[in-house]
Amino acid sequence: MKKVITYGTFDLFHIGHLNILRRAKELGDYLIVGVSSDAFNAIKGKKCAIADHERMAIVEAIRYVDEVIVEDNWEQKISDIQKYQVDTFVMGDDWKGHFDYLKEYCNVVYLPRTEGISTTQIKKELKLK
Protein backbone atom coordinates (compact mmCIF):
# COMPACT_ATOMS: atom_id res chain seq x y z
CA MET A 1 0.00 0.00 0.00
CA LYS A 2 1.50 3.33 -1.11
CA LYS A 3 1.03 5.93 1.62
CA VAL A 4 1.00 9.68 0.98
CA ILE A 5 1.17 12.45 3.60
CA THR A 6 0.49 16.16 3.46
CA TYR A 7 0.08 18.91 6.07
CA GLY A 8 -1.87 22.13 6.33
CA THR A 9 -4.12 24.47 8.24
CA PHE A 10 -7.17 23.98 5.95
CA ASP A 11 -8.94 27.02 7.40
CA LEU A 12 -12.22 27.99 5.70
CA PHE A 13 -11.90 24.85 3.55
CA HIS A 14 -11.98 25.75 -0.15
CA ILE A 15 -11.41 24.29 -3.63
CA GLY A 16 -7.65 24.82 -3.42
CA HIS A 17 -7.55 22.53 -0.40
CA LEU A 18 -9.80 19.98 -2.08
CA ASN A 19 -7.65 19.97 -5.23
CA ILE A 20 -4.42 19.30 -3.37
CA LEU A 21 -6.00 16.50 -1.32
CA ARG A 22 -7.49 14.89 -4.45
CA ARG A 23 -4.17 15.11 -6.28
CA ALA A 24 -2.18 13.91 -3.28
CA LYS A 25 -4.41 10.83 -3.07
CA GLU A 26 -3.82 10.14 -6.78
CA LEU A 27 -0.15 9.57 -5.89
CA GLY A 28 -0.91 6.54 -3.71
CA ASP A 29 -3.55 4.38 -2.05
CA TYR A 30 -3.75 5.90 1.44
CA LEU A 31 -3.65 9.61 2.31
CA ILE A 32 -2.71 10.91 5.75
CA VAL A 33 -3.28 14.60 6.46
CA GLY A 34 -1.60 16.48 9.29
CA VAL A 35 -3.93 19.33 10.28
CA SER A 36 -2.26 22.22 12.09
CA SER A 37 -3.44 22.72 15.67
CA ASP A 38 -4.43 26.22 16.78
CA ALA A 39 -1.34 26.25 19.00
CA PHE A 40 0.92 25.43 16.02
CA ASN A 41 -0.81 28.05 13.89
CA ALA A 42 0.04 30.60 16.59
CA ILE A 43 3.70 29.55 16.07
CA LYS A 44 3.17 29.92 12.28
CA GLY A 45 1.70 33.36 12.96
CA LYS A 46 -1.66 32.32 11.48
CA LYS A 47 -4.95 33.11 13.18
CA CYS A 48 -7.67 30.66 12.12
CA ALA A 49 -11.35 31.48 11.62
CA ILE A 50 -12.22 27.82 12.32
CA ALA A 51 -11.03 25.91 15.42
CA ASP A 52 -8.61 22.99 14.98
CA HIS A 53 -11.05 20.23 16.00
CA GLU A 54 -13.54 21.51 13.42
CA ARG A 55 -10.88 21.80 10.69
CA MET A 56 -9.84 18.22 11.50
CA ALA A 57 -13.45 16.95 11.31
CA ILE A 58 -13.95 18.64 7.91
CA VAL A 59 -10.71 17.21 6.46
CA GLU A 60 -11.54 13.77 7.91
CA ALA A 61 -14.88 13.86 6.01
CA ILE A 62 -13.20 14.38 2.64
CA ARG A 63 -13.45 11.19 0.56
CA TYR A 64 -9.77 11.35 -0.52
CA VAL A 65 -8.55 11.41 3.10
CA ASP A 66 -7.92 8.13 4.94
CA GLU A 67 -6.44 9.41 8.20
CA VAL A 68 -6.04 12.75 9.99
CA ILE A 69 -3.28 13.46 12.51
CA VAL A 70 -2.52 16.61 14.47
CA GLU A 71 0.34 18.79 13.25
CA ASP A 72 1.64 20.68 16.27
CA ASN A 73 5.23 21.46 15.37
CA TRP A 74 7.65 21.88 12.45
CA GLU A 75 9.80 18.94 13.55
CA GLN A 76 7.33 16.04 13.45
CA LYS A 77 7.45 15.29 9.71
CA ILE A 78 10.43 12.90 9.78
CA SER A 79 9.01 10.86 12.65
CA ASP A 80 5.56 10.87 11.02
CA ILE A 81 7.04 9.61 7.72
CA GLN A 82 8.84 6.81 9.59
CA LYS A 83 5.96 5.99 11.95
CA TYR A 84 3.37 5.76 9.16
CA GLN A 85 5.81 4.27 6.58
CA VAL A 86 5.00 7.04 4.12
CA ASP A 87 6.17 6.74 0.47
CA THR A 88 5.41 10.29 -0.69
CA PHE A 89 5.23 13.71 0.97
CA VAL A 90 3.14 16.27 -0.92
CA MET A 91 2.77 20.04 -0.52
CA GLY A 92 1.56 22.88 -2.72
CA ASP A 93 4.39 24.59 -4.61
CA ASP A 94 4.20 27.70 -2.42
CA TRP A 95 6.35 25.47 -0.20
CA LYS A 96 8.69 24.42 -3.03
CA GLY A 97 12.15 23.66 -1.65
CA HIS A 98 11.17 24.05 2.02
CA PHE A 99 10.87 20.32 2.65
CA ASP A 100 13.61 18.92 0.37
CA TYR A 101 15.37 17.56 3.47
CA LEU A 102 12.62 14.92 3.57
CA LYS A 103 13.98 13.42 0.29
CA GLU A 104 16.21 11.25 2.51
CA TYR A 105 13.08 9.54 3.85
CA CYS A 106 10.50 9.53 1.03
CA ASN A 107 9.52 11.04 -2.32
CA VAL A 108 8.88 14.80 -2.06
CA VAL A 109 6.32 16.25 -4.50
CA TYR A 110 5.29 19.90 -4.79
CA LEU A 111 2.04 20.35 -6.72
CA PRO A 112 0.95 23.62 -8.37
CA ARG A 113 -1.36 25.68 -6.16
CA THR A 114 -4.92 26.36 -7.32
CA GLU A 115 -4.89 29.89 -8.69
CA GLY A 116 -7.27 32.63 -7.56
CA ILE A 117 -8.29 31.24 -4.16
CA SER A 118 -6.80 31.49 -0.69
CA THR A 119 -8.06 31.63 2.86
CA THR A 120 -6.51 35.09 3.21
CA GLN A 121 -8.50 36.32 0.19
CA ILE A 122 -11.74 34.80 1.52
CA LYS A 123 -11.20 36.51 4.88
CA LYS A 124 -10.56 39.85 3.12
CA GLU A 125 -13.71 39.46 1.03
CA LEU A 126 -15.74 38.56 4.13
CA LYS A 127 -13.96 41.34 6.05
CA LEU A 128 -12.86 38.78 8.70
CA LYS A 129 -9.87 39.75 10.81
Site residues, ligand C2G (CB under 6 A): 7-10, 16-17, 20, 36, 46, 71, 91-92, 94, 113-114, 117-118
**Nearer to ligand C2G by C-beta: 104 or 115?**
115
Considering 2, 3, 44, 127, which one is annotated as catalytic? 44
Strand order through the sheet with 107-111: 67-71, 30-36, 3-8, 88-92, 107-111
Q: For residue 92, report the phi and psi dihedrals to the nearest 5 degrees.
A: -65, 155
Nearest CA among 6, 1, 20, 9 for reference residue 115: 20
Q: Is 47 a catalytic residue?
A: no
Nearest CA among 83, 75, 82, 84 for reference residue 105: 82
Nearest approach in angstroms of CB 121 to ligand C2G is 9
Q: Is 46 a catalytic residue?
A: yes
Angle CA 108–34–82, to nearest 5: 55
Residues known to be catalytic: 44, 46
